[in-house]
Amino acid sequence: MLVLIWSAVLFSVTGSDADTGDSEMRNPHCDREYCITLNVRKLTEEAGLCVVIPCSFKTAEGFETQHIVWYKCEASEAGCDRPVMIFHTNKSTDVQPEFEGRVSLIEHVIQNNCSIIINNLKESDSGSYHLRVIGEVNRKTDAFTFIPKVNVSVKGLKQKPTVMIPTLTEGQQATLTCTAPGLCSGSVPEITWTWRGAGGTESYIARNSTDYKTENLTAFTQSHVSTLTFNALAKHHNSNITCKISFTDKTTTEGSSTLTVNYVKKIKITKDTSVKEGEALNLTCSVESFPPSLIIWSKHSSNMSLHNDTGSATLSMLNMTTKDSGQYICTAKYMNNIVNNTDNKVNVTVIYKRKPQIIGNTTVKLGDVLNLTCSVESFPPALIVWRSTNTNLLTKTDLHNDTGSATLVIQNVTAEHSGQYICATKHLHTTVTSYVNVTVTWFSKIVNGSGCVLQSEVLTCVCISEGFPLPTVKWPFLKNSTDYSVFTTVSNHTVNSTVSLTVKNNGSTTLECVSNNGMGEAEESLTIQKNLPDNNIFRLEYLNVIIVLFTGTILATIICFLAKNCYSKKLNIQKLRTSDEILEMETHQNKLVYNGQALQDNQTLSSNSGPKEVEYANINFSLLKRNSDWVAARKQESTKTDYAEIKKVVEEQWEDDAGEEGDILEGQEKNVIMELKQCEPERVEGRDEAVNEM
């Protein structure tokens, strides 16, 4: 067992450069019964460490060994003329001062073991070492010096301390161990810890460190160890820790190692949670941790999933639609554990806007409620503003709403509420308008003023109806009649229908008038009144005659005025050019048609079993010539003024009915004869200049 222990010691302290290839050194070298065994011939060690010179000897019979002495010869000496004593078992004997206290005998001399250990090596310790034994033979002092030597070479220190780092976890206490190189029993080296963080700043750690030595194998071998205890933090990750060993001769060595701390931080999401429709979405989820975490992106109520085990994952989605809105979840798995974090969810909204929609009945009956809803599907909700082209209608009901929908309600609508209603939708910085046209309708009704009058077997009925759309008036009792006349006038939303016909042996006391505008039908039984006063009968029966006479009078006046001016100019032109001009008159015929809705306000139509033709006169003035000197010639003409006179002869056929008044104007043709005569009134000063050029 002792042999095995010494083998381990020698191997650990002699270094890897020990030359064990010389078989002669392993075998005893004898001289006159004095033998020495040196296991190595050459040893190489580093400064600051230690070296063991293994040695065993045997003396001649009768020689009692009392002391052993080791000498050193300088490496530069060819021989060993001036050996230096480095070790003596007699403590009182002075040895070389630089070796004092550094050389120790490993075993007792009585065991014939001469192995020594030299601690705190210096490069100057390089040289050859040999053994001398001192004793007695027959009680006489005697000594013997062995010739074989061991060469020791000391070089600069290259060995590094051993730094042991356990698994570090954030928040847990950790202990680092630094072991100095070599197993030496010499002076305890100084061990210091330095810390270099990620920023590059180096700092010394003075506390929480413990230095101690460990006895191994024998009392002459020691390992020098220092421990550093601290609480591991995430900031220590990737930091550099250094253990520095300083020996007594200022020889230093150091060993460094990078710390890895297992830690995990909170989930961070870099986001832009609002994206316009059609654009791209980019969400990045990252977790600072060691080792890296597994990142999983998922969408609520969706099978979408994205995995990445680098501690960071970016979710990219092109051409976003409204369906892509929703909650996105980032899950981090750290060392098979789910990272608990309340900030791992993000709500994504897609900004969009659709076309405004207006719903509601745009045709409303008079007195009902107008209810129009304008809505636009968008995010964020759009601002809705109702307006009307009639600014007076919505002064109190103008409606604003920023919920994306607004309802306009108007109670008890009137005819004034008809018109255009505008819905303006403002979304972000864009405003879009849409409009609807509202029509207020009301049932046709027969109003006061309607009635029938029977005078001399001539029945005249008036039916006045209001409504929108414009109603039509029908007389059911005319269904089987062929000889009657109907006059219809229109004013705004009022239709006035007058019917005249000859009746005999009429036993009825009421007649029906029916009004219909598509919204509903109104019926009214008109009471027949008899013996109406003459002025009323005249108004009802001769309404058409009055209108015709009034229109003819106005037309005659206009034609007379135009004819006079025309004839005056004609005489002037004849004097200047001595030529006659012809005034042409053309007569045209045209027919009036009533379709029930095309009549304009205050127009009148006459009907008697079909439309009648009306003739009118048209004067052609295209043959009148202009003359630049007409004004001068006009001054030279006579003081007589020409004018036109129109004589109208109306041929009418009257039918006498029972010898009473109340003759009905038949729809026969009326001939109009126009005659131009020359008039000679007195000349009025300044009149010539007032004549308009034709």
User: Same structural domain for residues 377 and 292?
Assistant: no
In 3D space, the residue among 476, 468, 466 whose CA is nearest the CA of residue 513 turns out to be 476
Q: What is the CATH number of the domain that holds 488?
A: 2.60.40.10
The pLDDT value given to residue 381: 92
Give bridge partners of residue 590 from the DSSP assignment. Answer: 614
The pLDDT value given to residue 42: 92
What distance in Å separates the CA atoms of residue 327 and residue 489, rounded to the nearest whole number?
A: 70
- CA distance readout (Å), 436 to 362, 378, 407: 7, 21, 14
What distance in Å separates the CA atoms of residue 299 and residue 270, rounded to the nearest whole number?
A: 16
User: Are the CB atoms for 72 and 147 separated by under 8 Å?
Assistant: no
- CA distance readout (Å), 257 to 157, 196, 251, 656: 19, 10, 21, 141
User: Same structural domain for residues 73 and 166?
Assistant: no
User: Same structural domain for residues 40 and 135?
Assistant: yes
Backbone phi, psi, residue 196, to 5°: -120, 115
Residue 485 lies in a domain: yes
Q: Give how many domains the chain has, as a whole number.
A: 6
User: Same structural domain for residues 77 and 130?
Assistant: yes
Residue 647 lies in a domain: yes
User: What does the angle CA 33 – CA 37 – CA 38 come to, to the nearest 5 degrees?
Assistant: 145
Domain containing residue 333: 263-352
| Buried/exposed code over 67-95 (b: 16+ C-beta within 10 A; e: otherwise) | ebbbbbbeeeeeebeebbebbbbeeeeeb
Residue length of the chain: 694
User: Same structural domain for residues 420 and 281?
Assistant: no
The bridge status of strand 202-205 relative to strand 252-258 is: unpaired
- Asked if pLDDT for residue 144 goes beyond 90, the answer is yes
In 3D space, the residue among 496, 493, 504 whose CA is nearest the CA of residue 468 turns out to be 493
Copy the structure tokens of residue 528.
């027949």
Determine the 3-state secondary structure of 339 from DSSP.
coil
Q: Is the peptide bond before 471 cis (omega within 30 degrees of 0)?
A: no
- pTM for the structure as a whole: 0.53
Give bridge partners of residue 257 from the DSSP assignment. Answer: 241
The counts of H helices and E strands in the chain are 5, 49
* Residue 511: burial class (beta carbons within 10 Å; 0-12, 13-18, 19+): buried
User: Are the CB atoms for 335 and 290 separated by under 8 Å?
Assistant: no
Give bridge partners of residue 275 from the DSSP assignment. Answer: 350
User: Same structural domain for residues 679 and 556?
Assistant: yes
Lowest mean pLDDT among 22-31, 201-210, 427-436: 201-210
Tens-place pLDDT, residues 514-541: 999 887 788 988 888 886 454 444 444 4
- Asked if pLDDT for residue 6 goes beyond 50, the answer is no
* Residue 211: burial class (beta carbons within 10 Å; 0-12, 13-18, 19+): middle
- Asked if pLDDT for residue 682 goes beyond 50, the answer is no
What distance in Å separates the CA atoms of residue 151 and residue 597, rounded to the nearest whole number?
A: 139
The pLDDT value given to residue 186: 77
The bridge status of strand 430-446 relative to strand 363-365 is: parallel
What distance in Å separates the CA atoms of residue 346 and residue 179, rounded to the nearest whole number?
A: 52
- Angle between helix 534-541 and 543-577 (nearest 10): 60
User: Same structural domain for residues 207 and 338?
Assistant: no
- Asked if pLDDT for residue 152 goes beyond 70, the answer is yes
Q: Determine the average pLDDT of the residues in 256-283.
A: 91
Residue 590 lies in a domain: no
- CA distance readout (Å), 510 to 17, 296, 459, 485, 524: 148, 92, 12, 19, 10
pLDDT > 70 in the chain, percent: 68
- The residue from 103, 135, 155 where one domain ends is 155
Q: pLDDT band for 281, please (50, 70, 90 cuts).
A: very high
User: Are the CB atoms for 241 and 193 separated by under 8 Å?
Assistant: yes
User: Are the CB atoms for 51 and 45 separated by under 8 Å?
Assistant: yes
Higher pLDDT, 181 or 197: 181
- The residue from 155, 178, 209 where one domain ends is 155
Give bridge partners of residue 408 from the DSSP assignment. Answer: 372
What distance in Å separates the CA atoms of residue 683 and residue 685, rounded to the nearest whole number?
A: 7
Tens-place pLDDT, residues 436-459: 999 888 888 898 888 899 888 888
Tens-place pLDDT, residues 355-413: 999 999 999 988 999 999 999 999 899 999 998 877 666 644 456 678 889 999 999 99
The pLDDT value given to residue 391: 65
* Residue 370: burial class (beta carbons within 10 Å; 0-12, 13-18, 19+): buried
Tens-place pLDDT, residues 106-132: 876 667 889 999 999 999 999 999 999
C-alpha 3: how far from its chain's center?
83
User: Are the CB atoms for 264 and 233 separated by under 8 Å?
Assistant: no
Residue 286 lies in a domain: yes
DSSP 693: P
User: Same structural domain for residues 123 and 172?
Assistant: no
The pLDDT value given to residue 497: 94
Q: pLDDT band for 282, please (50, 70, 90 cuts).
A: very high
The pLDDT value given to residue 150: 94
Residue 598 lies in a domain: no
Copy the structure tokens of residue 467.
């409504």
How many Cα atoms sit within 13 Å of 199 on the Cβ side?
Answer: 4
Determine the 3-state secondary structure of 372 from DSSP.
strand
User: Same structural domain for residues 74 and 145?
Assistant: yes
What distance in Å separates the CA atoms of residue 468 and residue 404, rounded to the nearest whole number?
A: 35
The pLDDT value given to residue 204: 63
Q: Determine the average pLDDT of the residues in 446-474.
A: 89
In 3D space, the residue among 546, 554, 692, 540 whose CA is nearest the CA of residue 631 turns out to be 692
- Asked if pLDDT for residue 349 goes beyond 90, the answer is yes
Higher pLDDT, 546 or 313: 313
With tokens 């709500």, the residue in question is 347
Give bridge partners of residue 56 from the DSSP assignment. Answer: 37, 113
The pLDDT value given to residue 399: 65
DSSP 323: G
Q: How many CB atoms lie within 10 A of CB 589?
A: 9
In 3D space, the residue among 657, 204, 292 whose CA is nearest the CA of residue 458 turns out to be 657
Mean pLDDT for all residues in the chain: 75
Residue 601 lies in a domain: no
Give bridge partners of residue 200 from the DSSP assignment. Answer: none
pLDDT > 90 in the chain, percent: 37
Residue 536 lies in a domain: yes
What distance in Å separates the CA atoms of residue 218 and residue 106, rounded to the nearest whole number?
A: 9
Residue 206 lies in a domain: yes
Tens-place pLDDT, residues 262-273: 999 999 998 788
- The residue from 425, 440, 455 where one domain ends is 440
User: Same structural domain for residues 340 and 386?
Assistant: no
The pLDDT value given to residue 209: 65
**Most confident among 136-140, 530-534, 650-654 (mean pLDDT):** 136-140
- DSSP of 201-228, one letter per residue? -EEEE-SSEEEEEEE-SSTT-EEEEEEE
The pLDDT value given to residue 334: 93
What distance in Å separates the CA atoms of residue 484 and residue 218, rounded to the nearest whole number?
A: 152
In 3D space, the residue among 460, 477, 462, 449 whose CA is nearest the CA of residue 530 turns out to be 460
User: Same structural domain for residues 133 and 227?
Assistant: no
Tens-place pLDDT, residues 586-636: 333 333 333 333 333 333 333 333 333 333 333 333 333 333 343 344 434
User: Same structural domain for residues 111 and 253?
Assistant: no
